[in-house]
Each structure stands twice: as structure tokens, then as C-alpha cells.
Amino acid sequence: MSKKSKKCLNNKSKRLLWYAYTTIGLGVRAAAALALIAISIKAYPLKNQAKSFNACVLEIQETGMSISTAVNFCNGGGD
């Protein structure tokens, strides 16, 4: 093989490696983005539950009970 053909082969292999690493990098970033989306979807019901719990505590507090008693009541331990 001549020097020129070895050089071309080397450039092609470098280019192929560059494409492979770029593709792998994009795949990893896409997987990370999908993981974040899945986490946010799973956290949404928790947000709604926290809102309803806070509303319960405020409602019970308005009846004259202390905060600790209201929290206990909303957790299911109340009278």
C-alpha cells in the first residue's frame, strides 16, 4: 500500500470513530432526557397529594385545633 492510501484509510477510520462517539453521546443524552421526563411524570401525583394534605391541615386548623393535631388528623390518626 502506498502512503496516500494508508492516510486515507486512517482518515476514514477516524471519521467513523467520530460518528460512533457522536451517536453514542446523543443516545446517552436522549436516555437522560427520557429519564427526567419519567421522573416528572411520576412526581406529579405526589404534588397533588401534598396540595390536598395542606388543604386538609388548613381546614382542620380553622376549627381551632393546633397544627400538630391537624396534621395527626389528616394523616388518619384523628378522631
Give residue-wise pLDDT tens across range 68-77.
999 999 998 8
CB 49, CB 57: distance < 8 Å:
no
**C-alpha–C-alpha distance, residues 30 and 36, integer Å:** 10
State which residues of the chain have pLDDT below 70.
Answer: 1-9, 78-79
Expressed as residue numbers, the domain containing 36 is 3-77
Q: What confidence tens digit (pLDDT) does each residue in 60-69 have?
A: 999 999 999 9
DSSP class of 64: T
Q: Hey, what's the cell of 5?
A: 492510501
**C-alpha–C-alpha distance, residues 13 and 7, integer Å:** 10
Q: Hey, what's the cell of 6?
A: 494508508
How many domains does the chain divide into?
1
Average pLDDT of the chain is: 87
